[in-house]
Structure 1
Amino acid sequence: MQAFRHFKRVVTDWFLCGMFLATFLAWLFPRFGSSGGSMHAEYVINIGVFLVFFLHGINLSSEQIRHGLKNWRLHLMVQGFTFVVFPLLWLLGKSVLGTQIPALLMLGFLYLCALPSTISSSVALTGSAGGNVPAAILNASLSSVLGIFITPWLVSLVVGSGSDGIDLGATLLDLCALLLMPLVLGQLLRPWLGRFFARHKRYTNVMDKLVILLLVYAAFCNSMVSGMWQQQGSAVLLMALVGSGLLLALILWMTTRTARALKFSPADEIAAVFCASKKSLAAGAPMAALIFGAHPGLGLILLPIMIYHPLQLIVCSIMAEHYANRPAPQAADPALVSAR
């Protein structure tokens, strides 16, 4: 019953329903949201992405980040899993199944594995499970900033750079202009605007999700116009679903085992597992538009993260409740201690 309740809560989430609606609308009206279409998606999305990361910068508490700085082993584990272990798992999967999976879908799994961790859901789940919230805030925020540089670099290692791949230098400049600069600007203006936006945070969260939905719609519009989806069968969707599920299960098992092998406290274990296993659709969608441009296969490249995103919410919300309901360690009885 608990699993069904969590599944129902995720399914009724308007944002996840919006992702299905965005793909359906792209099927109905592909030319409206494609590059050069009436929506002028390339301009609308750039403005939206700049605004979203500006709001992230304003809402990011530097005081909470400072509180988590000392726990360096936890930070190394989270960033190591996010940017090293995930890509290594992709390399292993490619060596075993690379010939069985379409090249664009394989690129989508690479992109999923190269993405930074989430901020909002990692922190929220860590808090509800009774974990180390300041450490979760620090690691998720650090991961987002590092991802601006590491994610395109990891992708370029596989697809190449220059004329035959992605233009790494131009991509990094674009990412800094549209993601890093508004983030820094938001932090600088936080002392004056932070309280105002904190009172209206629910509206900023809605803006964040609406921009992601626009990105998903535009990506699938370009894919529909190119005829890419007509060339793919339902087996591709099944591959993406199974692959994302197996990756999530494996990474949750590995992060839990690693945290316990490092003898983390229960609160640190929770933060480590939730931050190190997450991948950000909020960062992934706008970064994909900058890294891959108007690539006709962008819809298929985004498919793994679009599936991984709801899966991680369902599974990790169940885990969070399990962590929260664990009995607390009992202190030794003083009478027994004195008797010894």
Structure 2
Amino acid sequence: MSVLSRLTKKASSYGFDGFLLGIAIAILLAYIFPSVGAKESPIPLAEIANFCVSLIFFFYGLKLSPKKLKEGLANWKLHVLVHASTFILFPLLVILLHKIIPSFQSDVFWTGLFYLAALPSTVSSSVVMVSIARGNMPAAIFNASISSLLGVFITPIWMEFWMSEKATNDFDLSSVIIKLLIQVVVPVLLGLLLHRKYAWFAEKYNKRLKQFDQSIILLIIFTAFCESFSENVFALIGVKDLLQLLLSTVALFFLVLELTNLLSKLLGFNSEDRITLIFCGSKKSLVHGTVMSKILFPTSDQMGLILLPLMIYHTAQLIIASIIANKFAGDSTKNIAP
């Protein structure tokens, strides 16, 4: 194995993969060519992304195994805590941070942070991290999958609460949920119905499907930042605000890690369930965040600012969780606290 291959493999084990580089390149290209992805562009990138979003969730449903989901049903206490962490603890922590931390110059950052907090858990990386750390795999698959479906309903409800608190009246909850049902839930259910017959396709081309998912996410990020750069919304954002956002986002991740770890110990969870709670309860989905943003904020020209906390969090959770998972894997007693 060459030195470059070893370095690439080592970097991947700690979260530094080509996708993170792709995000940086997408933002850079949006900065250089903002007119390409803006609303006035003759290239219908937004419409292409909308169509591909439904394909992403169709293939997600195709990959879901009803059998594996049933295997994870029994451990109800773990399931309740994972989803309570994902959908209750996160938003409450951000509301608390909003009260005690001085306001950002751009209040959109707080909307972005709260949007991050209201999102469901990620599927693939949660399961991968639990697998590396030798946790409860059936429970991880169950919770990560169910979280994605719950998020279709819970995330818009939280966002309506946040927007009403900010006196924003252009958030139509019923319309948003209907759009999410059509664009997300229906494709997932269709994929589930076809799982038995065509699951082999999803397994055979799993790597290609992952690349497809990531490509669409990069396209959505590119168009979001094109719109933000074309409207010059970053002009008033200072370095101090960006640093404060970075620290707040990373602090949120570590806070949830510590709280889920403490809860698992207080409730006497075994090591496998503890690992599953820590990793599934602390993750947020970049896939759902990017695709749902197109439905939740369809007319916003500040999408780049709204998605920025999520992208920072995604990077942090990949790198930090990878390090912790590898430490768990190397510790036979599983007594390493995050």
Provide TM-score, normalisation by structure 2.
0.92
**Secondary structure of 1:231 counterpart:** coil
Residue 139 (structure 2) aligned to one of 120, 131, 135 = 135
What code does the residue aligned with 1:85 have?
Answer: L
Equivalent in the alignment of 2:64:
60
Distance in structure 2 (CA, Å) of the matches to 1:149 and 1:326: 39
Shift of 1:236: 2.7
Q: How has the CA–CA distance of structure 1 residues 52 and 242 changed in structure 2, closer, same or farther, with 3 Å as cutoff?
A: same
Q: Does 1:215 find its partner at 2:246? A: no
Q: Does 1:263 find its partner at 2:268? A: yes
Instruction: Provide the aligned length of Structure 1 versus Structure 2.
Output: 326
What code does the residue aligned with 1:214 have?
Answer: L
| Cα-to-partner distance string for 1:37-66 (whole Å, 9 max, x where unaligned) | 133122111111001000100011111110
Equivalent in the alignment of 2:295:
290
What code does the residue aligned with 1:227 have?
Answer: N
Equivalent in the alignment of 1:244:
249
CA contact (8 A) 2:46 2:220 kept: no
What code does the residue aligned with 1:211 have?
Answer: I
Q: Does 1:175 find its partner at 2:176? A: no
Q: How has the CA–CA distance of structure 1 residues 8 and 126 changed in structure 2, closer, same or farther, with 3 Å as cutoff?
A: closer
Tell me, which stretches of 5 or more residues in structure 1 are unaligned?
A: 330-340
Distance in structure 2 (CA, Å) of the matches to 1:5 and 1:246: 28
Q: Does 1:27 find its partner at 2:31? A: yes
CA contact (8 A) 1:68 1:135 kept: yes
Shift of 1:241: 1.1
CA contact (8 A) 1:156 1:165 kept: no
| Cα-to-partner distance string for 1:110-140 (whole Å, 9 max, x where unaligned) | 0010000000000011011110011001101
**Secondary structure of 1:264 counterpart:** coil
CA contact (8 A) 2:15 2:318 kept: no
Tell me, which stretches of 5 or more residues in structure 2 are unaligned?
A: 1-7
Distance in structure 2 (CA, Å) of the matches to 1:235 and 1:165: 30
Query: Which 4+ stretches in 1 moved above 6 angstroms?
Result: none
Residue 206 (structure 1) aligned to one of 205, 211, 222 = 211
CA contact (8 A) 1:78 1:272 kept: yes
Distance in structure 1 (CA, Å) of the matches to 2:38 and 2:14: 29
- Please say which structure displays the higher CA radius of gyration: 1
Residue 278 (structure 2) aligned to one of 273, 286, 291 = 273
Distance in structure 2 (CA, Å) of the matches to 1:149 and 1:278: 18
| Cα-to-partner distance string for 1:245-271 (whole Å, 9 max, x where unaligned) | 111111100010101111111001111
What code does the residue aligned with 1:290 have?
Answer: I
Q: How has the CA–CA distance of structure 1 residues 67 and 9 changed in structure 2, closer, same or farther, with 3 Å as cutoff?
A: closer
Distance in structure 2 (CA, Å) of the matches to 1:322 and 1:255: 17
Residue 121 (structure 1) aligned to one of 99, 118, 125 = 125
Q: How has the CA–CA distance of structure 1 residues 11 and 271 changed in structure 2, closer, same or farther, with 3 Å as cutoff?
A: closer
Residue 162 (structure 2) aligned to one of 158, 161, 165 = 158
Equivalent in the alignment of 1:319:
324
| Cα-to-partner distance string for 1:305-330 (whole Å, 9 max, x where unaligned) | 1000011011111111111122249x
Distance in structure 2 (CA, Å) of the matches to 1:16 and 1:88: 28
